[in-house]
Structures are given as C-alpha cells and as structure tokens.
Chain A
C-alpha cells in the first residue's frame, strides 16, 4: 500500500513547482464550484500495485501563462497558445515524479503514464474533482484557480470475480 499524500502536501508540492518552474505564485484556497470557462486538465496514472490518477486543471489563460513562463515567451505569443496544453501536461508529469517517490518509495520503479490533456467545462471538472480522494485548490496572485487531485483507479485485479 502507498503512503497517501495529504491535501497539505499536494498543495505545498504544487506551490513549489509553480513557483520554481513557472514563476507563478499561489496559495491554498477554498475549492468552491468553478465558474464556467475554458479549463485545461492534464490527467495521468501512477501505477505500482495500485493505480492512482493525478489531475491538474487550470484555466486556459493561466495555461498560456505557464507555457510562456516555461518557454520564456510572451503569453500572447502564438507559441505560448499552442504550447498551453503541453505545459500543463508537463507540470503534471513533474508533480507525478515527486509523488511517485513519496507514495511508493525511492527504491521501486513506479510506472508513470503519459499525460492526457483535454479541455473540460467547469461542471465536468467539478464532477471529477468532487469525487477525488485527495484534492486541493490554489489561487494564484493573478486570481487564477489551480486544482490538483488524486483519485483511485480500479486495477484489472479489482475487476476479477
């Protein structure tokens, strides 16, 4: 069994990563329902005996800022727009790399899936987020919300009679 990260740990990890890799400053906030808007969500599965899905969701505008900061571009640039999903996926990948060690240990090789990034509506996201085992919301200094969550995913063994 893995060591389950707490909401506080997931939040602090996300804050450190946003700050260190993308120069975006944020703090933990209340997870009220999303207002409608375009969200980009990256989802990937960590697997070592059990399967856990990590989700990272941000508004489209913030995704473009993240891409711009990672690539040292202007947020309005075409490349920042086209790289927005890639940037969110890569940040999810970086969180997963740290979580895998904290959950399963440094002496095992945990399988980390390739991030799937897709737009979601606020309603769709709230449905997933509300059911997550561990979830945390951040608010950036520009007022953007960032959500991260961990959900248990059934393994093939779970479905055996």
Chain B
C-alpha cells in the first residue's frame, strides 16, 4: 500500500526533512505533495485526495491552526488526518492542536521512527483508504 502525503511548511528545509524521514522510515508513498502555508494546502486538498497531512503551526498567510479549523468545517476534509509538526514543545499547545482536530503532534527535530510510529497508528490498513 502506498499513501498520498501532503507536507505543509513555509520552510523548504523542513518539507524536505519530513519527506526524507518518510522515506527512511519505510512509509510507501505514491506521491508527496508540498505546500508553503495553510492556504496552499487547502487549494491542494480541495482538488486532490490525500491520505495524511503533516503541517507546521507558524506559517505566513494561513497558520496550521487556521488550516485545522477550515478543514473541520469542510465535510470531505474533516476526516483527513493531520499531524502537526512543530518546534513548539508546550503541552498546552499540543492539547490545543489536538482539540482542534490534529491526530498527532510531533516536535522538531524528530527522528524517522517518530514519523513511522505516527503513520502506523493513523494509517492502519482498513482505517483509511490508501491508494494502491
């Protein structure tokens, strides 16, 4: 099974790091899409099915929190799992993001094992609809 992944971060370096971590951790991807902020991510999500989204919080134009709020309001997008990838360590921030709909919260810098664990928990066979 392979998955279609969307990585949302204003830093190209972080997008590359997440993509590489996915590859190292053995997660099979049919495509890895990238967006520089929440608005660009929404534009992609409204046109394309994505199995999982990795999103930063602090981004220009539209933050990760605003992306979560908007996705929750849009029926089809509300079920797409979002993993927040942030440098913010605060427990309160992590709880806040989960209350807004994030399925997991990863702190940067992270190890590929962390991505693998999160994907394993969220993308269990039968839980989502992966692209063959």
Contacts and interface: CB of A to CB of B under 8 A. Distances in A.
Interface of A: 17, 20-21, 67, 70-72, 83, 86-87, 89-90, 93-94, 96-98, 100-101, 105-110, 112-114
A97 B13 contact: no
Given A94-B108, A109-B93, A100 B88 contact: yes
B90 A108 contact: yes
B20 A100 contact: no
B109 A109 contact: no
B88 A97 contact: yes
B13 A107 contact: no
Interface string B2-38: 0000000011111011001000000000000000000
Contacts, number: 71
9 contacts: A67-B13, A70-B13, A71-B16, A86-B12, A93-B58, A97-B86, A97-B108, A114-B58, A114-B60
A18 to B, nearest CB: 11
A20 to B, nearest CB: 6
B11 A106 contact: no
A65 to B, nearest CB: 13
B77 interface: no
B58 A101 contact: no
Given A70-B17, A71-B17, A112-B87, A86 B11 contact: yes
B20 A83 contact: no
A114 B59 contact: yes
Contact of B89 (A72, A87, A90, A101): A101
Lowest 4 CB-CB distances: which A-B pairs, in order?
A97-B87, A21-B109, A86-B13, A101-B89
Interface in B62-86: 86
A98 B109 CA distance: 11
B43 interface: no
A70 B16 CA distance: 9
Contact of B91 (A72, A97, A98, A106): A106
